Structure 1
């Protein structure tokens, strides 16, 4: 569900968020229109508005875990977790977490990847939100869902600042709802 489909379409904050995201053509390779959220992070108002919209949505959903996908999910996850009274759990690339981890491999358009989480970070029955900056095909979010569900968490929803229009038709999110603030600018 896009924020504009959830009654926020007229919300002027969405325009500010969208305008704060820089589009970098041909990065990291030709033909890619990279959605750079670092400029959103530099815009205090747009960044705060992004977090506030997520917090308003999740404040009363009894979420106990906000799981952020490396690396840009780390920028949105902690302030959301603090504001809704949840813990933040980083989902990291391989060999970045010390100690015992659980891993989930997944396929991308251009190869494979893996997410890891500390064993014991999430308990069975905990209600989780997965957060990242952008969803393209949903492969990374699906891996995050699988990882959390393997330890018994109830994944309530996935949330991203940016969602490629294609994802509306091709939800590869294991049947979990997807909440997106804005579509990319070109």
Structure 2
């Protein structure tokens, strides 16, 4: 059974557009930017996320530097709330708060949030394009909570399953295009999609048919 045969919640066609890594272990194991450049795919992805976010209240959307900016800005525009960039250190020209975190490649980095970014008690939806080890998201959560914000939930294309991310699902609403329990989730946990076997970059061209 392939990742598109199990059922309607698994058959999110646009996930087939995601590209395998062709550059080696220092990069993420897949690339969703081919999904973003296809207008129909990006619209359907955003539609699915917004449908699952219905009923979840938040005052601002925090996007994690850098690829989280794409989905975060789209969600903020759809919900008509503000967009808050959470940056890698050294990028903001205003006063900031900073934390260190370990990213998916085991490198220690610093992340910054402007001071102040929101009023105490504001609800922040945190968005990244993918959550692998959970280290980057941990830095964002700490920055929000240190300013007195409330993490309203987490949103991404997918969240891999490990001790850290399962704790996130227990603590926060987690909205993902890849649905827990689906074949896509099973494959994400192995860091390889069966769709890679038939991946064709031309399918992602902006005017490509499904």
Of 115, 120, 124 in structure 2, the residue corresponding to residue 124 of structure 1 is 120
Computing the radius of gyration from Cα coordinates, the structure with the larger value is: 2
TM-score w.r.t. length of structure 1: 0.83
The answer to whether the aligner puts 1:23 opposite 2:20 as a matched pair is: yes
- The offset of 1:25, in angstroms, is 4.3
- 1-structure distance, mates of 2:16, 2:117: 36
- Offset, 1:38: 1.1
Aligned-pair CA distance for 1:60: 3.2
Shift of 1:96: 0.6
Q: Tell me, what secondary structure is at the counterpart of 1:89?
A: strand
Relative CO higher for 1 or 2, CA cutoff 8 Å, sep ≥ 6? Answer: 2
The aligned length equals 174
Equivalent residue number for residue 181 of structure 2: none
TM-score (norm 2): 0.74
Q: Which structure carries more strand by proportion?
A: 1
2: CA distance, partners of 1:143 / 1:172: 15
CA RMSD of aligned residues (A): 2.3
Is the CA contact (8 Å cut-off) linking 2:60 and 2:82 kept in structure 1?
A: yes
1:153 paired with 2:149, answer yes
Residue 166 of structure 2 aligns to a residue whose secondary structure is: coil
Q: Does 1:64 align with 2:62?
A: no
Partner of 1:73: 68
Structure 2 stretches lacking a partner, 5+ long = 1-6, 179-184, 195-210
Unaligned stretches of 5+ in structure 1? 1-8
